[in-house]
Amino acid sequence: MNIKTIELKIKGMTCDNCAATIEKQLTVAGVVSKKASFKKHNAIVSFNPDEIAGEQIIRLVNDTGHYEVEGFQEIKPAIDDKPHLVIIGGGSAAFAATIQAHELGARVTMINEGLPVGGTCVNVGCVPSKTLIRAAEELHQSNTPKFPGIVKQGKLQSFKEVIEEKRKMVKALQQEKYISVVAEMDNFALIKGRARIASPKSVFVNGETIAADAILVATGASPKIPPIPGLDEIDYLTNETAYELEDLPERLIVLGGNYIGLENAQMFARFGSKVTVVELLPQILPTESPELAEELQKFLSAEGIEFLTNARTSRVYREGDEIVLEMNIEGKERKLRGTHLLVATGRKANTGELGLQEIGAELTQQGFLKVDEYLQSNVEGIYGAGDVIGGFMFVYTAAYEGKIAVLNALSQVKQKVDYSALPWVIFTDPQLAGVGADEKQAAELGIDAEAAVLPLSYVPRSIAAKDTRGFIKLIRNKQTDELVGARILAAE
């Protein structure tokens, strides 16, 4: 339908009643909307020219006998050829996408709710964990001098102050790396609200429907809580609450032996908590080769962390000041008691109640948004980036995907995502870094591979630093002699 809008200049109106009379007079078939104003001596009328002509509208006003149209003009809709990108989510993927869309000259509306602006990384992920890990490392190193002539001197005087400092760091980085980046951006709007996709071209938020040329789903992921009987009845910790504790846990149980569990286990242990890591599978870091996992576990155990692998927790409950985990370890029943429980058993996509399935968008079995290599879902115009699409869940992949998704959605560039040489790091001490496949993953990919391992006890830099924990491992495709991956377990 081609709707026209005209402004009529009207003589004779003296009050609101006159305006109301004119509006009533214009309540006829073909007029879509009308707004008369006695102060402005005008009426703005939108109509369908197939049903009523402009002259007829003028005649209707003049026919009142009291008012007279002195002139009129057509109001053309504002010419705005900027495409409108609506981003659901306000984390790293969303911000990288916003910067890219701004560079392409698009209008952006970002809708965020749940975590504060900046999302997981700055508020409850990378930033708080890494600053606390470093604080704990400082304490640990000052109590484990490796060189003669240096004495132990570290003491945790106030855990609360450490947490206070972390809060300041989070606030400062949230401001500097997120809020300030968009503060002065034109054609940008940030809406606080829970968004729901209403159609492939519109999003519903705070009672309003916003039209979009493209929609980017960047809603991230949240802690995945296993269905262990009793767990939902106790006050357990996750990464969203653990970094806010002002008193150090006395005995901490960490459920989950992957990277989030391990980084936190060591951090709390170094501050002084007695930590036990409980892992369901036969080894920690289940996707890596057993030797690597064993080696890292050896160093963490040496710092006093207890590990229970093959441990299936069947029930959790509170008994007085303690949390009790009933578990079965290789056929034997065991009870584990702690003062706190940190659940770090994986991440689940924030796709619930987003309206994705209602518009036909496909999710994976685990509930992540399914996207193709251009990051588009099966619904045209709806893209995904960051943790919500699963795969590699890092801050830098979220930012990379946000940028690629926008290029594909709003420009002629059609770029595939490429993760072939993606590095990652686990911030334990020693740290574990990797790129490409290790022997186990190479075998799963059908690659005939072998590894060359250099222990750090052979590396002069490590010898000089008096820290020879770890090794460097290069994995080679035996058929092509190509490097398929590398792993480094090292303090620095």
Ligand X SMILES: Cc1cc2nc3c(=O)[nH]c(=O)nc-3n(C[C@H](O)[C@H](O)[C@H](O)COP(=O)(O)OP(=O)(O)OC[C@H]3O[C@@H](n4cnc5c(N)ncnc54)[C@H](O)[C@@H]3O)c2cc1C
Determine, following the binding rule CB under 6 A, whether residue 212 of this chain makes contact with ligand X.
Answer: no
Assess whether the previous peptide bond of 282 is cis (omega < 30° from 0).
no
By CB under 6 A, tell whether 252 contacts ligand X: no
Whichever of 159 and 178 has its CB closer to ligand X, that residue is: 178
Q: Which of 129, 283, 345, 376 binds ligand X (CB under 6 A)?
A: 129
Cβ atoms of residues 491 and 429 within 8 Å: yes
Instruction: Compute the least distance from the CB of residue 475 to ligand X, in Å.
Output: 23
How is residue 20 written in tokens?
């109301």
Reading the block at residue 235, the tokens are 């006050």
- Asked whether position 434 contacts ligand X by CB under 6 A, the answer is no
Of 451, 454, 485, nearest to 470 (Cα)?
454
Which listed residue (7, 23, 113, 303) binds ligand X by CB under 6 A? 113
Which of 99, 126, 435, 491 is the binder for ligand X (CB under 6 A)? 126
Smaller CB separation from ligand X, 121 or 382: 121
User: Quick one: 190 or 327, whose CB is closer to ligand X?
Assistant: 190
Sequence letter at residue 218: A
- Total residues at interface with ligand X (CB under 6 A): 37
Nearest approach, Cβ of 258 to ligand X (angstroms)? Answer: 11
Looking at 3-11, 73-81, 181-189, 386-394, which segment touches ligand X (CB under 6 A)? 386-394
**Of residues 89-108, those binding ligand X (CB under 6 A):** 89-94
Residue of 210, 393, 417, 449 that binds ligand X (CB under 6 A): 393
Q: Measured from the CB atom, is 220 or 249 closer to ligand X?
A: 220
The stretch near ligand X (CB under 6 A) out of 16-24, 214-222, 412-420, 453-461 is: 214-222
Q: Segment near ligand X (CB under 6 A), from 37-45, 84-92, 457-465, 470-478?
A: 84-92
Residue choice 8, 218, 275, 375 for contact with ligand X (CB under 6 A): 218
Site string for ligand X, 3-22 (x = CB under 6 A): --------------------
Measure the CA–CA gap between 131 and 124, rounded to whole angstroms: 11
109 binds ligand X (CB under 6 A): no
Out of 162, 195, 285, 432, the residue judged to bind ligand X by CB under 6 A? 195
x/- track of binding to ligand X for residues 338-377 (CB under 6 A): ------------x---x-----------------------
Q: Least separation, in Å, of the C-beta of 487 and ligand X?
A: 17
Contact status: 194 vs ligand X (CB under 6 A):
yes
For position 261 contacting ligand X by CB under 6 A, the verdict is no
Interface ranges with ligand X (CB under 6 A) = 88-94, 111-115, 119-121, 125-126, 129-130, 194-195, 218-220, 239, 260, 350, 354, 386-388, 393-396, 398, 427
